[in-house]
Structure 1
Amino acid sequence: MRHLVFFQLLSSVCFFTLSEVVDNNFSKCRKFFLNDIPPDFTPPVGVSVKPICQCLRGENDNLIYLYATLYSTTWKIPIYSAYVFGSPNIGRCDNWYIEPQLDGETEPYMRPKGYGKNIGKNQAVATDYENSDYDKGHLYPVLHTNNHLSMLATSTLTNVAPQDPTFNQKVWLEHEKAVIEDLKSCKVAYVVTGVVPDTNKKKIGNSVTVSKYYWRATCCEKDSKYIGQGYYGPDNNERVTNLNIKSLQEKLNEFYQIKNFRIFSDPSKKYTADGALLQTSCFT
């Protein structure tokens, strides 16, 4: 069953914001995936996930889809968020929101504070991060947005995971800035950013799983070619490692203890407007 979840931000310029728990194929927001195909990810046994289309209701009451998230209600953190790269960003809005319907609430509006006995059962809430010594680490970062609506839509707890403050504010931040330089000349760039949970580490708040690794995969269309690049960190040197998509997928299979995780799907044959065959390497 599909549910609409609405919330209104406190600022008068923040519009009506909402997200939509959708079917497993992300039917409402497939445009944020290369070739409209979501990553092929089968969660480990016993781990529940919910696909979410993150969107806004604009001034004309129309739905504006802005990115997609696969959220684990077991780990209470996202598996990944997928978006089309844009930059530079135009500001920041630090109102944090939850999604009541992930916890079975009938209240349609997302809100900054939960109420009801089940709130927080299947998702993180703001109080889980208080005095936790962890940052709210964005998957879809504000730095990679280029409009007010996308910026606002990143401020949901379904788009963040507990991240070590030093790594978040230094190494990963520098990585996010470097990605801007890598992708700014692309005709279009698809990005999938994810979190590997540290299931052996003590959780924060009400059983919110801390991140062990952050990872990112980019696919840039440029000069009739697709160019893929993978990243994960921290590595053994507390840095971000660069690697190709195939190697990243192999790492993620190991990290998640799953098989056949595929971030970008093979587009078969894709052509430019003038009929030229695009060379693709983002799925390898």
Structure 2
Amino acid sequence: TRFTMRHLVFLLLLSSVCFFALSEVVGNNFSKCKEFFLNTAPPDFTPPWGVSVKPICQCIWDDNDKEMYLYATLYSTTWKIPVYSAYVFRESKSIGRCDVWYFVVFPCMRPKGYGTNIGTNQAVNRDYEKSGYDKGHLYPVLHTDNHLSMLATSTLTNAAPQNPDFNRNAWLRHEEAVIEDLESCDEAAYVVTGVVPDTKTIPNKKVTVSKYYWRATCCLKNSQYTGKGYYGPDNNGKVEELTIKDLQNKLSGFYQIQKIEIFPSIPPLNQPAKITKTTYTCN
């Protein structure tokens, strides 16, 4: 019952400074968390043949015992890493970081998945022990603007094995630069951050290593929708900036799929004048 689940969460909290991050697998769509996508439209992504994916609405219990959805993730149960996480970037604030990592013990609304076989479809903490890889956030703590969002990023459905040097240097500097760029937006920005899998796994032979990390952003700037794409490491171990269109072309090759459209839907036209007169350039 829900009472039993909340009791379990409470007992776990007694031994942790952090709250317990939860997630909800939402069937074949993101019906409960579409607000984290531009114009409520998730990326147009068809996984390669034989690769299973699950849409997840990442959520956490708030102070009023309500489920609060904070971002969305498309997770591969085949690769055991996320394909992408989508979130809304607002003004960045200095949020204290909590490094207690959680996996999906049960969804927000249902107890399905809780038990000894929890690692069948997803990574668990022990998979990363002595692996030589960092747990690389897709939705990073740096881009959160409140304590609950920070907590909710620390789930293994929002992380992939990442080269420590790249994670702590080039990719970190990139995340900081994105903050500076998006803080000049007229309003909140939409961000999708993804992982391209490598052909190898970490030593447990189960969790796929990330070969590339990528990010796409879109927001209003000077009453015009503008977007940027990024991926890394490139041939020089850096993060390369490129157009959304060029990023999508690269990702099609990386994933070996026909196409991927990160922002598939233009903003609606029945909005205030400053939006109806904009030019959509996030592709």
TM-score, normalised to structure 2, is: 0.89
Paired residue secondary structure (1:19): strand
Over 3 Å counting, the alpha-carbon distance change for 1:100 and 1:16 in structure 2 is closer
CA distance in 1, matches of 2:264, 2:98: 34
CA distance in 2, matches of 1:108, 1:198: 27
Aligned residues with identical type, % of pairs: 65
TM-fit CA distance, 1:177: 0.3
Over 3 Å counting, the alpha-carbon distance change for 1:124 and 1:206 in structure 2 is farther
CA distance in 2, matches of 1:130, 1:99: 18
Paired residue secondary structure (1:59): coil
Q: Does residue 247 of structure 2 align to residue 251 of structure 1?
A: no
Aligned-CA RMSD value: 2.2
CA distance in 2, matches of 1:89, 1:108: 34
1:100-135 Cα deviation digits (max 9, x unpaired): 359xx95677xxxxx51x221111110111111100
Q: Does residue 105 of structure 2 align to residue 76 of structure 1?
A: no
Contact 2:38/2:267 (<8 A) preserved: no
TM-fit CA distance, 1:15: 4.7
Paired residue secondary structure (2:13): coil
CA distance in 2, matches of 1:14, 1:197: 30
Q: Which residue of 1 aligns with 2:93?
A: 88
Over 3 Å counting, the alpha-carbon distance change for 1:67 and 1:268 in structure 2 is closer
1:6-26 Cα deviation digits (max 9, x unpaired): 756637774554211003220
1:233-261 Cα deviation digits (max 9, x unpaired): 00001011100000000000000000121
CA distance in 2, matches of 1:170, 1:25: 35
Over 3 Å counting, the alpha-carbon distance change for 1:101 and 1:152 in structure 2 is closer
Kindly report which structure 2 residues correspond to 1:265-284, keeping only aligned pairs within 5 A, or say none.
Answer: 265-267=264-266, 269-270=268-269, 272-274=271-273, 276-282=276-282, 284=283
Q: Runs of at least 4 residues of structure 1 off by over 6 A?
A: none
CA distance in 1, matches of 2:30, 2:201: 32
Q: Does residue 229 of structure 2 align to residue 224 of structure 1?
A: no
Q: Which residue of 1 aligns with 2:56?
A: 52
Over 3 Å counting, the alpha-carbon distance change for 1:89 and 1:206 in structure 2 is farther
Paired residue secondary structure (2:261): coil
The amino acid that maps onto 2:96 is: G
Which runs of 5 or more structure 2 residues have no equivalent in the other structure? none
Q: Does residue 151 of structure 2 align to residue 152 of structure 1?
A: yes
Q: Does residue 162 of structure 2 align to residue 163 of structure 1?
A: yes
Kindly report which structure 2 residues correspond to 1:170-189, keeping only aligned pairs within 5 A, or say none.
Answer: 170-186=169-185, 187-189=187-189
TM-fit CA distance, 1:277: 2.0
Paired residue secondary structure (1:100): coil
Which runs of 5 or more structure 1 residues have no equivalent in the other structure? 110-114
The amino acid that maps onto 1:250 is: N
CA distance in 1, matches of 2:59, 2:153: 10
Q: Which residue of 2 aligns with 1:112?
A: none
Q: Which residue of 2 aligns with 1:25?
A: 29
TM-fit CA distance, 1:274: 3.3
Q: Does residue 215 of structure 2 align to residue 211 of structure 1?
A: no
TM-fit CA distance, 1:220: 1.5
Contact 1:120/1:206 (<8 A) preserved: no
The amino acid that maps onto 2:73 is: T
Q: Which segment is superposed worse, 168-177 or 205-214?
A: 205-214
The amino acid that maps onto 2:123 is: A
CA distance in 1, matches of 2:20, 2:157: 17
TM-fit CA distance, 1:268: 6.2
> How many equivalent pairs are there?
270
Paired residue secondary structure (2:250): helix
CA distance in 2, matches of 1:268, 1:191: 15
The amino acid that maps onto 1:10 is: L
Q: Which residue of 2 aligns with 1:38?
A: 42
CA distance in 2, matches of 1:66, 1:89: 18
Q: Does residue 134 of structure 2 align to residue 130 of structure 1?
A: no
CA distance in 1, matches of 2:112, 2:55: 19
CA distance in 2, matches of 1:106, 1:263: 32
CA distance in 2, matches of 1:43, 1:165: 27
Over 3 Å counting, the alpha-carbon distance change for 1:269 and 1:55 in structure 2 is closer
Q: Which segment is superposed worse, 68-77 or 273-282?
A: 273-282
